[in-house]
Amino acid sequence: MSTNNGVVWKYPINAGTTDVFSIDMPAGASILHFGNHDGAMAIWAIVSPERLQEARHFRICGTGHRIEYPKPGWEGYGAVYVGTVFDGPFVWHLFEILQQEKVNE
């Protein structure tokens, strides 16, 4: 996505409820940053608001936590690192879950 025709939107994260979550964003949104703002974690992305919404899937985990498939049936998915947030004594790492192309089909 070109930065000259988008806007930056903030997507708050409520990591206290689950470590795997989805956020609806306009198709083609480009994630800029994962950070802490006013004591709450959020994702900032460049979006084209007129585009249709699509679900983006994420996993958040703390330092020292195992990174496993989020649930049965997700074995064909991979994850891309988005960023790290320091939250008092905790350090959180965010990954976007992406479906991988099946190589041997």
pLDDT in tens, 37-92: 988 899 999 999 999 999 998 888 888 887 765 555 555 567 788 999 998 898 99
Residue 3 pLDDT level (bands cut at 50, 70, 90): low
Supply the DSSP string of 75-94, one letter for each residue: TTEEEEEEEEEEETTEEEEE
18 pLDDT higher than 70? no
pLDDT in tens, 22-41: 899 999 999 999 999 988 89
pLDDT of amino acid 75: 56
Residue 95 located in a structural domain: yes
CA 87, CA 6: separation in Å to the nearest integer?
A: 30
Domain that holds residue 36: 3-99
Residue 46 located in a structural domain: yes
Residue 105 located in a structural domain: no
Q: What is the largest CA-CA distance in the chain?
A: 47
Provide the number of structural domains found in the chain. Answer: 1
Residue 104 located in a structural domain: no
CA 59, CA 61: separation in Å to the nearest integer?
A: 7
